[in-house]
Amino acid sequence: MSAVLKLLAGRLAISLLVLAGVSMLIFAIARVIPGDPARIALGPNATPEQVEKLRQELRLDQPIWLQYGHFLSDLSRGELGTSLYTNRPVTRDIAQFLPATLELILAAGILMICIGLPLGIVAAKNEGGFIDNLVRVVSLLGVSAPSFVWAVILMILFAFFLPLFPIAGRIGTQFDVPQITGFLFVDCLLTGKLDALADALWHVALPAFALALSGIGQAARLTRANMVETYRRPHIEMARSYGFPEWRIARKYAFRPSLIPSLTIIGLDFAAMLGNAFLVEAIFAWPGLSRYGVAVILRKDLNAIVGTVLIISAAFLIANLIVDLLIALINPRIRHGRDRS
């Protein structure tokens, strides 16, 4: 078995253990925080008998360890219970709201990579110059303010003063796209509605950019710092002494070794977006999972809380796993080191 496969197997085992720990932790926390879920769901006018009946249906009258056993049994069948917020299966809610959030953070992740990395490269190649200082200031501004602040600023600038972008929803009301996969971009392509796809991309542009600004700043700053350090190493001077073109030195000998820390940060930011996007989704009325998660937390919807947190945790672990594999593929010392030992 190669070192990459060993790394994958080890990371998968650790991820499963972490996910099990997260499920136990969030299951316990959701049940010890103040408030009776049955009373919150039924409202103040419900009779004690009605509240007690719902508590029995939710198994809240049983010991917590027994409740967790029922939860694991349901989870093994792919069930997460019924949401008190929507009165629907939690799995159905997740299937409805998750694609919108995934599309949003995927667009934000693409912007992080396509803007943050080139900015860092340009700044490093012009170290100490005007472009370098400008990129550093812009990156610092992106990192210093949270995403929801940028969401409000961008909405004011480009939706009210300059009405260039829509301010709410995933697509215009004039489009009727059949729901096939739940992913709007994919459904537009499958049905051949390219005008609807263009409108959907126009709707996602502003919230995705607001969500990505912090990650763009971090990626640019980290890429610049690592490339500046790499440019000062002896192998770069040797490559220049051999007359290699500057673009080849930047791409192969400077950027590639500097990419590993940037990939790590981008992966962590990408995974964190799934949980941090709720304010951006609320501002732009984006029907995503993060917004749904906040709503169920406020109503102490136990099944929906556990299901949402598990999905976010799984996405975080998957993103970390993908980053580890990319780093192993980029860095030959990780690929071949264990095979030589």
Domains of the chain in sequence order: 1-85+299-341 (no CATH), 96-292 (1.10.3720.10)
Given this model, what pLDDT does residue 341 score? 41
DSSP-derived letter for residue 89 is B
Given this model, what pLDDT does residue 332 score? 64
More confident residue, 51 or 99: 99
- Model confidence at 207, pLDDT cuts 50, 70, 90, reads very high
Do residues 90 and 82 touch, judged by C-beta distance below 8 A?
A: yes
Given this model, what pLDDT does residue 334 score? 59
Answer left, alpha or beta for residue 166, where phi above 0 means left and psi between -120 and 50 means alpha: beta
pLDDT tops 70 at residue 25 = yes
- Model confidence at 333, pLDDT cuts 50, 70, 90, reads low
Give this prediction's pTM.
0.82
Calculate mean pLDDT across residues 316-340.
70
- Which among 114, 80, 108 has a CA at the least distance from the CA of 94? 80
pLDDT tops 60 at residue 1 = no
- Which among 291, 318, 82, 309 has a CA at the least distance from the CA of 207? 291
Given this model, what pLDDT does residue 208 score? 92
Do residues 219 and 110 touch, judged by C-beta distance below 8 A?
A: no
The 10s digit of each residue's pLDDT in 214-243 is: 888 888 888 888 888 887 778 777 877 877
Do residues 202 and 164 touch, judged by C-beta distance below 8 A?
A: no
pLDDT tops 80 at residue 90 = yes
Question: Is residue 50 classed exposed, middle or buried when 0-12, 13-18 and 19+ CB atoms within 10 A define those classes?
Answer: middle
pLDDT tops 60 at residue 68 = yes
SS3 129: coil
What DSSP string runs through 179-206? -SSS-HHHHHHHTT-HHHHHHHHHHHHH
Count of C-beta atoms within a 10 Å radius of residue 336: 14
Do residues 25 and 32 touch, judged by C-beta distance below 8 A?
A: no
- Which among 158, 24, 171 has a CA at the least distance from the CA of 179? 171
The 10s digit of each residue's pLDDT in 110-166 is: 998 899 888 988 888 888 888 888 988 888 888 888 888 888 898 898 888 888 888
Do residues 97 and 251 touch, judged by C-beta distance below 8 A?
A: no
What residues contact 280, with CB distance under 8 A and at least 6 apart? 104, 147, 148, 151, 207, 210, 211, 286
Distance CA 68, CA 70 (A): 5
Instruction: Count, in order, helices (H) and strands (E) of the chain.
Output: 17, 0
Given this model, what pLDDT does residue 259 score? 77
Calculate mean pLDDT across residues 84-109.
89
Given this model, what pLDDT does residue 339 score? 45
- Dihedral pair phi/psi, residue 184, rounded to 5°: -60, -40
Given this model, what pLDDT does residue 205 score? 92
The whole-angstrom distance between residue 167's C-alpha and the CA centroid of its chain comes to 21
- Which among 259, 265, 275 has a CA at the least distance from the CA of 311? 275
pLDDT tops 70 at residue 305 = yes
Distance CA 211, CA 231 (A): 31
Calculate mean pLDDT across residues 178-196.
88
User: What is the share, in percent, of the chain residues with pLDDT greater than 90?
Assistant: 6
Given this model, what pLDDT does residue 340 score? 45
Do residues 334 and 328 touch, judged by C-beta distance below 8 A?
A: yes
